[in-house]
Amino acid sequence: MKFEIKDRDAAGRICKFTTKHGTITTPNLMPVINPNKMIISPKEMKKLFGTEIVITNAYIIKKDDRLKEKALKDGVHKLIDFDGTIMTDSGTFQSYVYGDVGVEPLEIVEFQKKIGSDIGTILDVFGKPDQTFKESEKGMKDTLRRAKQAAEIKEEMILSTPVQGSIYPDLRFKCAEELSKIDGDFYPIGGVVPLMENQRYSDLINVILSSKKGLDPSKPVHLFGAGHPMIFPISVALGCDFFDSSAYIKYANDERLIFTWGTEKLEDITELPCCCPVCSNYSADDLKKMSKKDRTIEIAKHNLYVSFAEIKKIRNAISQGSLWELVEKRANTNPYLLEAFNILKSEENKDWLEQFETISKNKAMFYTGNQTYHRPIVHRIQKRLLERFKKSSNVYIVLPESKKPFSTHYSHEIKQIYQKNNNVNIIVDSSLGPVPIELDEMYPFAQSIFPSFTDEETERKISISFQNFTKNGDVICWSDLSTLDELDPSKEEGFNFDLRRISAVANIQFGSGAGKVLLGGEVKIIKSKKTGKIRNIYCNGKHVLSMRAHDGLFTLKGDGAKLLHNKFKKPLLRVAVNQDAIDFVKEGKSVFAKFVEDCDPELRPLDECLIVDEKDNLLAVGRCILNRREMLSFNYGVAVKTREKL
């Protein structure tokens, strides 16, 4: 099995996942195949929906003599006539529904091996939501024991070991942590079907979060039994990689159509609210008039078209950096899902999510409601402003929100203020909180679109951020020229706004003091002739930084890296690689995760970093793809893209 991160957004990721039957992209959806009754065959699914992986049930195969014989003889791929990756389930869900299933835990693992399953699942103990903590703990421990035993006999099969623990976050976390120590490969989050069936999304989110927090991040996570696209975006944003759908056929049998906002009975629909091939080809009346069998097939196809489109939508959103918007939009369509969102507003969860958040994105952030201000990127920038921004004094001149970039819109006012006193902080009271004018071109301040009225929760949060930032200072609200009278004149010699901007962005991006380190000499600034914006920065004749037009952040140049390496002590900004990687890095090749020895815990995906050897010799400058925990866990894929060897 190979599993590597190719792209990312929120705590979600696009990965390449390789089994004996090929390489597929995640997030992905496995339709459930009933070997007894294939309404749509896996082959047809591949053709119609681009299905790359399916899941079928080893327990059902084993119970049926004919299926069992054929599977043992020809293998499960021939049995269901599919040449892609096949996962098998073990009978756990049947034991939840029907009680004892009469199969031994190791027996069903052996059977899955024998029929050539790519991913085989242990017989875990389904943790029901109404169990007590004690009962859940016992089931969880049994699951762990079975996982350990199965791992010893798995051989070539990718072993799927579900996380259990019912609705108890502590048990889920514990189970996840312990599973990560066992030689399993693939982590379903089990026991969630009853939560989804009862729209208990708050519980579901808590279960996903506590499981993910404990799991080894380098292995695929599967939300077991989740087949409704409504919950795909949020689950991916929290780190799930796989879903499986029996919903498509279960709902079709019941004449229910799946949509991204929920499920609707055909009888309640007058016009099909969808553009999929089925809904473009037939009217609601056409479907109602069909034979039951044909109708079921067409609805099942619709359900899969919609489900796979949501997967594509999610992957596209990850590439664009707009996954949070998709998640928030989906939450706005269902009150219970929206309610669950409150869980993501806690400091603890925001701290956890922030680790995965890239430094900048391809797309501007869009406001969608009071969730937006709680995004990890806003959480980060608010924190960094308090920790890393170097204030000029204790005086704050506040300008109201305006057109962006603020410094262009307010160029006249800024000039007037600095002429009187350039030791003040000029800040804009924006929808993302206080924005020091030096940072106005930096992501996400410039790259965000908010309505002129947001909402009262956001207004309150902005006001709190503002108060925290200006605490114990003199706050002067700019209204007109007379505001200047309130200012004591004070002037720093050689004041230069560009220098202040460069220093401020460097501090936020690389850490307190970075500006001073990088600009400690004779500075020369090259601007774009076309846009007038800062492009390249030289210090004592050496190229230390380039400012990127699209996010207002820096690309760290080799000479800048040397300065930071010299003044910032280990582990700051470092990714340390082991002996085996040194020669590759010196040739300018990227750092693979398996060669990473250690990493600054403050580095985030897409952060600039110093690539060093184990003795802290600077080898190169690069850009992180992974965060620390990921670098230390993954066996495959690039951890750091090397940009400039030194």
Site residues for a copy of itself per CB under 8 A = 48-49, 261, 268-277, 279-280, 305-306, 308-309, 312-313, 315-317, 319-320, 325, 328-329, 332-336, 338-339, 342, 362, 366-370, 449-453, 455-457, 460
Residue type, 33: I
Cβ nearer to a copy of itself, comparing 277 with 400: 277
Give the nearest distance from C-beta 277 to a copy of itself in angstroms. 5
Q: Would the CA dihedral through 591, 592, 597, 599 be positive or negative?
A: positive
SS3 57: strand
Q: How many angstroms separate the CA atoms of 522 and 501, rounded?
A: 16
- Cβ contacts of residue 611 below 8 Å, gap of 6+? 574, 575, 577, 585, 591, 618, 619, 620, 621, 622, 640, 642
The two structure tokens encoding residue 156? 């070539």
3-state DSSP helix/strand/coil percent for the chain, to nearest 5? Answer: 45, 20, 35
Give the nearest distance from C-beta 280 to a copy of itself in angstroms. 6
What is the gyration radius of the CA atoms in the chain, in angstroms? Answer: 28
Give the nearest distance from C-beta 321 to a copy of itself in angstroms. 11
Residue type, 64: D
Under 8 Å between Cβ of 308 and 46: no
- State the alpha helices, DSSP H only, in 219-291: 232-237, 247-253, 277-281, 284-289
Cβ nearer to a copy of itself, comparing 350 with 461: 461
Give the nearest distance from C-beta 232 to a copy of itself in angstroms. 12
Give the nearest distance from C-beta 203 to a copy of itself in angstroms. 13
Give the nearest distance from C-beta 242 to a copy of itself in angstroms. 17
Give the nearest distance from C-beta 309 to a copy of itself in angstroms. 3
Per-residue burial over 275-314, b = 16 or more CB atoms within 10 Å of its CB, e = otherwise: ebebbeebebeebeeeeeeebbbbbbbbbbbbbbbbbebb
Of the residues 7, 64, 81, 89, only one is catalytic, namely 89
Q: How many angstroms separate the CA atoms of 250 and 296, rounded?
A: 10
Give the nearest distance from C-beta 466 to a copy of itself in angstroms. 17
For residue 50, how many C-alpha atoms fall within 13 Å in the half-sphere facing its CB? 11
Cβ nearer to a copy of itself, comparing 253 with 316: 316
Q: How many angstroms separate the CA atoms of 482 and 433, rounded?
A: 25
**CA distances to 406, 428, 452, 534 from 402, in Å:** 6, 8, 9, 22
The two structure tokens encoding residue 60? 């059902």
SS3 587: coil
Q: How many angstroms separate the CA atoms of 324 and 104, rounded?
A: 43
Give the nearest distance from C-beta 325 to a copy of itself in angstroms. 8
SS3 425: strand
SS3 448: strand
Q: How many angstroms separate the CA atoms of 13 and 89, rounded?
A: 25
- The DSSP code sequence of 275-332 is -SHHHHH--HHHHHHS-HHHHHHHHHHHHHHHHHHHHHHHHHHHHHT-HHHHHHHHHT
Cβ nearer to a copy of itself, comparing 57 with 303: 303
100 is catalytic: no
The two structure tokens encoding residue 136? 């859940």
Q: Which residue has the tokens 């004779």?
A: 522
Cβ nearer to a copy of itself, comparing 329 with 380: 329
Q: How many angstroms separate the CA atoms of 370 and 444, rounded?
A: 17
Under 8 Å between Cβ of 204 and 240: no
- Cβ contacts of residue 153 below 8 Å, gap of 6+? 106, 109, 110, 113
Q: How many angstroms separate the CA atoms of 303 and 228, rounded?
A: 9
Catalytic residues: 89
